[in-house]
């Protein structure tokens, strides 16, 4: 009983440290955008130019995340995660001191490099250090912390900017991130995946590089990448354009449209909690993912069809849709873990999660074009289509895993 309690306590400490790091990464993703109105006025630029800062950040993060996975497998998670958080926080703090708009662009590159390490490093730690019977809840805590970071960033940024100004707000938030990095360094044993020196050397050989390329090109891994790309396309469409699309389609006020989006995000966070429990209690993670995605897409479709006046039905349906999609998160991460060959957590998670950044980079322009051209219903159509297409990627991954495991267990093997 004592050993079990100690194992549980150890897992909780590791999960907490990794989740805090992940929450900080999401926090810094949304530090600047809520302050764009003030930055626009001071720098004398438009929202398109400021949007380039965000696009550059996600683009660099997505490209570098692929390489970050190899770095994690080569050097271990501890130095990579600490350096990433320090770069992300320091570049954010420096943005508050930027003399002009153009100084923001190289800082966005540095921030993107810092942001790229979290998914490959986080999952490498969780998969290596947390007991298998608690991994679903570990994935749930990890995802929930990210959502909390997204929620807190605008609240903190707007509140601090009203008290001190936007520059001071950014500097304070960046400095707080550096402080958090220092605390994490003090407890750095919690973010160590205990990668052995022999395994590090093997990861750096030409044979290992060739093997890695072969693994990443497997259909199972490519379909995991496609899943994350489709998911991020749907989520970015909702987060960035659900408000203007809802206002145009349903003649809603900006307050009610924003409330519907907020309820979707809140529902998603609550859904993650249930999804974490489900992921630990079943091995049929593909069923959880498929049911959640299809339910979420169906509820959004129901909202678009307006069987109930949008002023009453949209907030409720969006909250339920967010809950359904949120339940899929921990099972999704469990599916990726099942598809990942031993010793490749960093590079696999780095590769498949770069699909999130790719979707976040490419999708906003397409959604914005739909709204600008007077086709707001197209925003919801693309969101629904992306969620449904993600279902097929989940089913294909499941089929490939079954075929692989069956071949491994065959007598001929």
37 φ, ψ to 5°?
A: -55, -45
Residue by residue, what is the 3-state secondary structure of the chain? Answer: CHHHHHHHHHHHHHHHHHHHHHHHHHHHHCCCHHHHHHHHHHHCCCHHHHHHHHHHHHHHHHHHHHHHHHHHHHHCHHHHHHHHHHHHHHHHHHHCCCCCHHHHHHHHHHHHHHHCCHHHHHHHHHHHHCCHHHHHHHHHHHHHHHHHHHHHHHHHHHHHHHHHCHHHHHHHHHHHHHHHHHHHHHCHHHHCCCCCHHHHHHHCCHHHHHHHHHHHCCHHHHHHHHHHHHHHHHHHHHHHHHHHHHHHHHCCCHHHHHHHHHHHHHHHHHHHHHHHHHHHHCCCHHHHHHHHHHHHHHHHHHHHHCCCCHHHHHHHHHHHHHHHHHCHHHHHHHHHHHHCCCCCHHHHHHHHHHHHHHHHHHHHHHHHHHHHCCCCHHHHHHHHHHHHHHHHHHHHHHHHHHHHHHHHHCCCC
Q: What is the pLDDT along the chain (413 residues), one digit of tens a residue?
A: 344 444 878 888 999 999 999 999 999 988 888 888 888 888 988 877 887 888 888 889 888 887 888 888 788 888 999 999 999 999 999 999 999 999 999 999 999 999 999 988 898 888 888 888 888 888 889 988 988 888 888 888 888 988 999 999 999 999 999 999 999 999 888 888 776 544 555 555 444 444 556 777 788 889 999 999 999 999 888 877 788 888 888 888 878 888 888 889 889 989 999 998 998 888 889 999 999 999 999 999 998 887 667 777 888 999 999 999 999 989 988 888 888 777 677 778 888 888 887 887 788 778 878 887 888 899 899 999 999 999 999 999 888 887 776 655 544 43
Report the 10 Å Cβ neighbour count for 77: 29
Q: List, in order, residues 6 or more apart from 73 with CB less than 8 Å away.
A: 124, 195, 203, 343, 344, 345, 346, 347
pLDDT computed for residue 185 by the predictor = 92
Q: Where are the domains of the chain?
A: 1-204, 207-413
pLDDT computed for residue 413 by the predictor = 36
* Angle, vertex CA 64, rays to CA 180 and CA 216, nearest 5: 120
> What homologous superfamily is domain 1-204 in, according to CATH?
MFS general substrate transporter like domains (1.20.1250.20)
Same-fold call for 1-204 versus 207-413: yes
**How far apart, in whole angstroms, are the C-alpha atoms of residue 300 and residue 264?**
10
Q: Do residues 81 and 24 lie in contact, with contact meaning Cβ atoms separated by under 8 Å? A: no
pLDDT computed for residue 53 by the predictor = 85
Give me 80's structure tokens: 């990579």
How many Cα neighbours within 13 Å face the side chain of 301? 12
Burial class (CB in 10 A: 0-12, 13-18, 19+), 277: middle
Q: Do residues 30 and 154 lie in contact, with contact meaning Cβ atoms separated by under 8 Å? A: yes
> What homologous superfamily is domain 207-413 in, according to CATH?
MFS general substrate transporter like domains (1.20.1250.20)
Give me 51's structure tokens: 């949007």
**How far apart, in whole angstroms, are the C-alpha atoms of residue 232 and residue 224?**
13
pLDDT computed for residue 412 by the predictor = 42
Q: Do residues 94 and 28 lie in contact, with contact meaning Cβ atoms separated by under 8 Å? A: no
Q: Which of 218, 216, 228 is closest to 355 using CA atoms?
A: 228
């Amino acid at each position: 009983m004592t050993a079990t309690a100690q194992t549980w306590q150890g897992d909780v400490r590791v999960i907490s440290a990794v989740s805090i790091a992940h929450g900080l990464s999401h926090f810094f993703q949304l530090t600047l955008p809520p302050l764009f109105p003030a930055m626009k006025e001071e720098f004398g630029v438009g929202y398109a130019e400021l949007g380039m800062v965000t696009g550059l950040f996600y683009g660099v993060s997505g490209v570098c995340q692929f390489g970050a996975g190899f770095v994690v497998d080569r050097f271990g998670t501890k130095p990579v995660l600490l350096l990433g958080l320090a770069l992300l926080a320091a570049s954010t703090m420096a943005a508050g001191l930027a003399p002009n708009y153009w100084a923001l662009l190289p800082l966005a590159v540095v921030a993107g490099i810092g942001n790229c390490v979290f998914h490959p490093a986080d999952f490498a730690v969780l998969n290596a250090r947390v007991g298998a019977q608690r991994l679903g809840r570990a994935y749930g805590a990890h995802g929930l912390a990210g959502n909390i970071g997204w929620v807190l960033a605008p609240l903190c940024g707007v509140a601090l900017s009203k008290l001190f100004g936007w520059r001071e707000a950014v500097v304070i938030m960046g400095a707080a991130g550096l402080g958090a990095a220092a605390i994490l360094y003090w407890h750095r044993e919690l973010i160590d995946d205990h990668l052995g020196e022999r395994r590090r050397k093997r990861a750096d050989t030409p044979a290992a590089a060739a093997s890695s390329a072969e693994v990443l090109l497997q259909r199972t891994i490519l379909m995991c990448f496609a899943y994350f790309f489709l998911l991020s396309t749907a989520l970015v469409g909702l987060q960035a354009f659900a408000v203007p699309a809802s206002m145009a389609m349903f003649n809603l006020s900006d307050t009610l449209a924003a409330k519907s989006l907020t309820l979707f995000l809140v529902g998603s966070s609550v859904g993650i909690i249930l999804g974490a429990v489900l992921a630990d209690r079943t091995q049929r993670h593909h069923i959880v993912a498929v049911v959640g995605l299809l339910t979420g897409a169906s509820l959004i479709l129901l909202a678009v069809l307006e069987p109930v006046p949008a002023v009453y039905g949209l907030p409720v349906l969006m909250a339920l849709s967010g809950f359904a999609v949120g339940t899929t998160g921990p099972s999704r991460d469990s599916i990726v873990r099942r598809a990942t060959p031993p010793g490749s957590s960093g590079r696999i998670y780095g590769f498949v999660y770069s699909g999130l950044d790719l979707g976040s980079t490419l999708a906003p322009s397409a959604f914005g074009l739909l709204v600008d051209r007077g086709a707001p219903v197209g925003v919801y159509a693309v969101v629904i289509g992306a969620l449904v297409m993600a279902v097929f990627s989940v089913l294909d991954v499941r089929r490939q895993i079954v075929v692989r495991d069956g071949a491994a267990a065959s007598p001929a093997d």
